[in-house]
Structure 1
Amino acid sequence: MVEPELIRSAQAGDRGALITILRSIETHVYRTAYYILGNEQDAMDAAQEALIRIYTKIDTYEEKALFKTWVQRIVTNICIDKFRRFKPTVSIDEHNMVFRTESNVEEELIFADFAKDIQQAIDKLPEQHRAVIVLRYLQDFSYNEIADSLNLPLNTVKSYLFRARQRLQTLLHDYQKGGVRG
């Protein structure tokens, strides 16, 4: 959570405050970009572009919306624009999805395979459905925060989530039969 005083300092031209803000949000920005775009290189590019945009546009932020919502709107829009320009390649790094402390080799292999199928299923969603799934389940945004982030009506967000969950359920049902096919 970025403190409002820090934001106001950055908006007033305090470069140190702005750098502190960027460092505190860079992991969240990257994570969102990674889950929307599906591979590390594209996510790094999008995250960098989002951080630059936040850096140059912080003076336009108004406290009408939560800062995290404003940030997620920026990164999500950049990702959707990139997604429309090209179809990203699927690249999954299972060990970055969830950190586990106890290791059972067979359990880890099953989990890694399932994590790959989850990412592949998410990658099969249309970009708007993918965005709402990422914001809801990976960034833990409320429906209202998602609506604000994506500049969509609340009912549209609910509809996208409903359809995305249905599609994911269908795709992940196939997991029990040997993996996501599609």
Structure 2
Amino acid sequence: MVEPELIKNAQAGDRDALVALLREIEQHVYRTAYYLLGNEQDALDASQEALIRIYSKIHTYEEKAQFRTWVQRIVTNICIDKFRRSRPSVSIDEHELVFQAGDNVEAEVMSSFDSEEIREAIGKLPEHHRTVVVLRYLQDFSYNEIAESLNLPLNTVKSYLFRARQQLHSLLRDYQKGGVRG
């Protein structure tokens, strides 16, 4: 969690505070970019672009939103723009995506699959579903934080997550039955 005083000092023009702030958030920014874009180079590019935007727009941050939500909105929007421009084939790999034990459907479904199958299935989700899944299960955002971060109504976020879970369940069921990958 970022110290509020660090944010205020950065907004006031304290360069050391701004550098410290960017260093504190860079891992979270990269992690989100990686899971949304699916490869290291694109994630590094998006992370750099997000950090530059945060650097140049820190003065516009208002405390009515959580800082991490504001940061995630920036990185998510950059990733969505990159995705729309290039429409790459997204394959999420190298990192584990762990679903929370409290989510019964996910826990049951995911318990019988290895992480590669999960990553492949997530990579096949439509962009908006993949985005909410990453924010919810990777970044541990609440539904309200996702709604605020993506500037969506709360019910839309719930709907996207519900549909994403249905799609994941279907994709992973196909894997379990020996379905075709790819």
TM-score normalised by the shorter chain: which range applies?
Answer: 0.7 to 0.9
1:15 matched to 2:5: no
Change (3 A) 1:120 1:180: farther
Q: Which residue number corresponds to residue 106 of structure 1?
A: none
* CA drift at 1:92: 4.6
Counterpart residue number, 1:105: none
Match of 2:65, SS state, is coil
Q: How does 1:116-131 map to 2 (within 5 A)?
A: 116-131=116-131
AA of the residue aligned to 1:13: G
Unaligned runs of 5+ in 2: 98-110
Q: Which residue of 2 aligns with 1:63?
A: 63
Residue 102 of structure 2 is matched in structure 1 by none
- Match of residue 39 from structure 1: 39
8 Å CA contact retained: 2:90, 2:124: no
Give TM-score scaled by structure 2 length.
0.86
1:114-147 per-position Cα deviation (integer Å, ceiling 9, x unaligned): 2222111111111111110000000000000000
Q: Distance in 2 between matches of 1:14 and 1:180?
A: 55
- Give the CA RMSD over aligned residues: 1.8
Structure 1's unaligned 5+ residue stretches are 99-110
> Does structure 1 conserve the Cα–Cα contact (< 8 Å) formed by 2:130 and 2:164?
yes
Whole-Å Cα distance in 1 between the matches of residues 180 and 20 of structure 2? Answer: 41
Does structure 2 conserve the Cα–Cα contact (< 8 Å) formed by 1:117 and 1:179? no
Distance 2:8 2:180 in 1: 47
Residue 91 of structure 1: how far off its partner (Å): 4.7
Counterpart for residue 54 of structure 1:
54
Q: Could you tell me which residue of structure 2 aligns to residue 102 of structure 1?
A: none
- Aligned-residue sequence identity (percent) comes to 77
Tell whether 2:91 aligns with 1:97.
Answer: no
8 Å Cα contact 2:30-2:43 kept in structure 1: yes
Shift of 1:89: 4.0
Instruction: Give the letter for the 2:134 counterpart.
Output: V
Amino acid at match of 1:97: E
Larger RCO, structures 1/2 (Cα 8 Å, 6+ apart)? 1
- CA separation in 2, counterparts of 1:180 and 1:124? 13
